Amino acid sequence: MITDYNFIVIEGNIGAGKTTLAKKISADFNAKLIPEEFAENPFLPKFYKNPEKYSFPLELSFLADRFHQLNKQIRNRDLFKSFVVADYYFTKSLIFAGNTLSDDEFALYRRIFNIIYTSLPKPDLYVYLHLDTHNLLKNIKRRGRDYEKNIKAEYLEKIQNGYIEYMKQHRDEYRFLLIDTNKIDFVKNPEDYDKLIDVIFNKKYKTGINRVILS
């Protein structure tokens, strides 16, 4: 795989398949994978049970973990890898925090975020996998994580809207590729996976929001 991109981000809502896609790209095209390390976060199960109490420590812990991981992994380039692919970007912290924190908490959180955000490299391509809420819920149920079983459609819709709003606000800074994957299954169908690879690597995109619907 020859690509002009050095750093690609695969983003999406909970259950969109971003980690699966990032892993497949890494394996198939000799890319360095940066997966989000969230499984060991002690606040995550507590947050899903009691969001009001645990939202602030959860978001702060994610902020610290994401910055540490991205800052280390992106800067330490592997000369034997073609490019870097991550299944999240640092701005994810701001999007989720905006939907879970109170106004006062978010104001403080944003101040901390802005201090460290500018020191991170920006992705060359920011891919967003878009799935409707009912399909997200199907995927969440299928993978069977106990701490995700109480996620509501309303919460997913807020997160989705947060991503869309973020892309609108930063369309002059990033090359966004918003891919509607509602009518494909790139996990089970190799042809659908090839379609995704084609639109990600074989097309040219300008700075702003570039929309693609796959079927």
In whole angstroms, what is the distance from residue 211 CA to residue 178 CA? 5
Exactly one of 87, 180, 185, 198 is catalytic; which is it?
87
Give the pLDDT score at 145: 86
Residue 152 phi, psi (nearest 5): -100, 155
Q: Kindly list the distances between the CA atom of residue 104 and the CA atoms of 17, 97, 116, 169, 199, in Å, as whole numbers in the listed order.
A: 33, 12, 20, 22, 41
Q: Is 146 a residue of the active site? A: no
149 or 204: which leads in pLDDT: 204
Structural domains in the chain, sorted by start: 7-213 (3.40.50.300)
Residue 11 and residue 127 in contact, taking contact as beta carbons nearer than 8 Å: yes
The confidence score (pLDDT) of residue 39 equals 60
Range name among 27-41, 147-161, 190-204 with the lowest pLDDT average:
27-41
The answer to whether the beta carbons of residues 171 and 209 sit under 8 Å apart is: yes
Does an H or E element contain 7, and which? strand 7-12
pLDDT of residue 179: 98
- Give the N- to C-terminal CA distance of the chain in Å, as an integer: 24
Q: pLDDT, tens digit, for every residue of 67-124? A: 999 988 988 878 889 999 999 999 999 999 998 899 999 999 999 999 999 889 899 9
pLDDT band at 1 (very low <50, low <70, confident <90, very high): low
- pLDDT above 80: residue 148: yes
